[in-house]
Amino acid sequence: MIGADNTLELCNVYHSGQVEPSSLMQRLVGTVKTGVILKDVSFSTHSGELTAILGSKGSGKRALLDVIARRVPSRGHVLLEGAPLDRARFNRACAVARHSCVLLPGLTVYQTLAFSLTKISGYLKTSKVKQVMGDLALSQVANKCVTSLTKSEYRRLVIGVQLMRDPIVLLLDEPTWDLDPLNTYLVISILSNAAKKYGTAIILTMEKPRSGRFPRAVAADVFDRGRRQDARTPVVTDVFPFLERVVYLCLGDVVYAGPTRRLLDYFAAVGFPCPQLENPLMYYLCLSTVDRRSRERFIESNHQIAALVEKFKLEGQAMLQGVEHQRHVPHNMQMNYGKPGEMAAVWMLYVRMLASIFNVKAHGLKQIFLRLFALPIYFFILWIFYNDAKDYQRAFITKSGLIFNAMVGTYFISIMNTITLYGPYRTRYYHESQEGLYNGASLLLSCNMVSLPFSFITTVASTAIIYP
């Protein structure tokens, strides 16, 4: 709907699951240790807002994204526009980008976006690709292979693939992980602008919302702003102003969930004002983290966090209830999201695989060699051994041995080709199939459509070498 203000609400959500890594034997015998991961989580977010879920490792951030994406069972209510959100509806209207998302290595930035599985095509899709690249600061690397991108560029490209579908809600798992403070600032600022422009409610997890001070000359190189006014003036890269809402988690409990503009007032009211010159996000993240440096500190921090959780349940939610600020709702029409038809998906997968193969980059050349030249070269080597043998009874390769080695080599090279070439497609299929874009049959059909012509050509070439 044009200018719609969509709301995602979580009400009293509980989730139980595996709480620590398990061995293969534990999984086989069913002795995996489980427990409560999320405890009474409630918050809401709206169109055009950027919401951060903050917490240390093991706090339940990723589990919360899985609950919203309806990929794990939970108790409580997850509502989108006031209606229950199930797995099918999430796949139709929302999107999720995993931290470990793998893109096809043989494609450029432009091709990766252009071959994303969306409903639109032709001129509309070309315009959308250019718009997304401009919004995510990827226009300068449009013809660059995905394997040669920086960490920041790669993360932005993964986000761009999802933005191509105009989701109502976009979930991002640690999009700033392992980035320096300046690139973290760049990614968060871009996401904030994208949320407002596309009218998407973006929810991201962060373990370390770091900030720093950099010379303006360094910042200009990263942001590509052109003219530098004063290279001596430092730039403070604090992501706090870009976040409309923040959720603090500690061991599954909510320490705070609400607008960032009320964050400082709330904690000051409960006795924890933020010191001057401190990054509020980091300060209250440390406040919401269990201190494990000693037994005494562990017990003290546990009691403090338990008190903060109880205070938020008793006072915080009442204090924040009814406090809403006016939001800018962009006039956009979200119509691109949803999976394409089966035949359209097969065709897009087929074209994407061909584009990955026929390029002059290392990955494309490797695919061409393995698909076309590996078997003929192997047969040529067999022919040399066979042709040089004077006494077939004493030779390493007899006439029967030549046939046997040709058969075995064909099977072996086929297996090696599958292991080497199918890996990236299988990994990409895992992520896209979870989004409901296509099924395994569509992937196998498109793979066979690509592989059969190569198999025919290499078989004819190999036979021409060995048969005479």
Across the range 13-27, mean pLDDT stands at: 76
Q: Which of 132-146, 161-175, 279-293 has the lowest mean pLDDT?
A: 279-293
Across the range 218-247, mean pLDDT stands at: 57
Distance (Å, whole) CA 340 – CA 432? 12
Distance (Å, whole) CA 466 – CA 442? 36
Distance (Å, whole) CA 466 – CA 468? 6
- Which amino acid, 342? E
Q: For residue 324, what pLDDT band results from cuts at 50, 70 and 90?
A: low
pLDDT, averaged across the chain:
83
Inform me whether the pLDDT recorded for 225 exceeds 50: no
Q: Of 459 and 319, which is predicted with more confidence? A: 459
Q: Of 343 and 3, which is predicted with more confidence? A: 343
Q: Which of 3-17, 52-66, 146-160, 169-183 has the lowest mean pLDDT?
A: 3-17
Q: pLDDT tens digit string along 100-156?
A: 888 988 899 999 999 988 888 888 889 999 999 999 999 999 999 998 999 999 999
Q: For residue 51, what pLDDT band results from cuts at 50, 70 and 90?
A: very high
pLDDT of 210: 63
pLDDT of 213: 47
Distance (Å, whole) CA 437 – CA 457? 32
Inform me whether the pLDDT recorded for 395 exceeds 70: no
Inform me whether the pLDDT recorded for 55 exceeds 50: yes
pLDDT of 75: 92
Domains and CATH numbers, the chain: 47-62+87-320 (3.40.50.300), 342-466 (no CATH)
In SS3 terms, the chain reads as CCCCCCEEEEEEEEEEEECCCCCHHHHHHCCCCEEEEEEEEEEEEECCCEEEEECCCCCCHHHHHHHHCCCCCCEEEEEECCEECCHHHHHHHEEEECCCCCCCCCCEHHHHHHCCCCCCCHHHHHHHHHHHHHHCCCHHHCCCEHHHCCHHHHHHHHHHHHHCCCCCEEEECCCCCCCCHHHHHHHHHHHHHHHHHHCCEEEEEECCCCCCEEEHHHHHHHHCCCCCCCCCCEEECCCHHHCCEEEEEECCEEEEEEEHHHHHHHHHHCCCCCCCCCCHHHHHHHHCCCCCCCHHHHHHHHHHHHHHHHHHHHHHHHHHCCCCCCCCCCCCCCCCCCCCCHHHHHHHHHHHHHHHHCCCCHHHHHHHHHHHHHHHHHHHHHHHHHHHCCCCCCCCCCHHHHHHHHHHHHHHHHHHHHHHHHHHHHHHHHHHHHCCCCCHHHHHHHHHHHHHHHHHHHHHHHHHHHCC
Q: For residue 219, what pLDDT band results from cuts at 50, 70 and 90?
A: very low
Most confident of 19-33, 129-143, 215-229, 322-336: 129-143
pTM for this structure? Answer: 0.84
Q: Which of 136-150, 282-296, 386-400 has the lowest mean pLDDT?
A: 386-400
Across the range 405-426, mean pLDDT stands at: 87
The two most distant CA atoms of the chain are separated, in Å, by: 96
Q: Of 159, 97, 102, whose CA–CA distance to 133 is shortest? A: 159
Q: For residue 208, what pLDDT band results from cuts at 50, 70 and 90?
A: confident
Inform me whether the pLDDT recorded for 230 exceeds 70: no
Across the range 186-191, mean pLDDT stands at: 92
Distance (Å, whole) CA 321 – CA 466? 80
Q: Of 147 and 341, which is predicted with more confidence? A: 147
pLDDT of 468: 75
Across the range 280-308, mean pLDDT stands at: 87
Q: pLDDT tens digit string along 89-100?
A: 998 889 999 888
Q: What percent of the chain has pLDDT over 70?
A: 83
Inform me whether the pLDDT recorded for 88 exceeds 70: yes
pLDDT of 79: 92
pLDDT of 59: 87
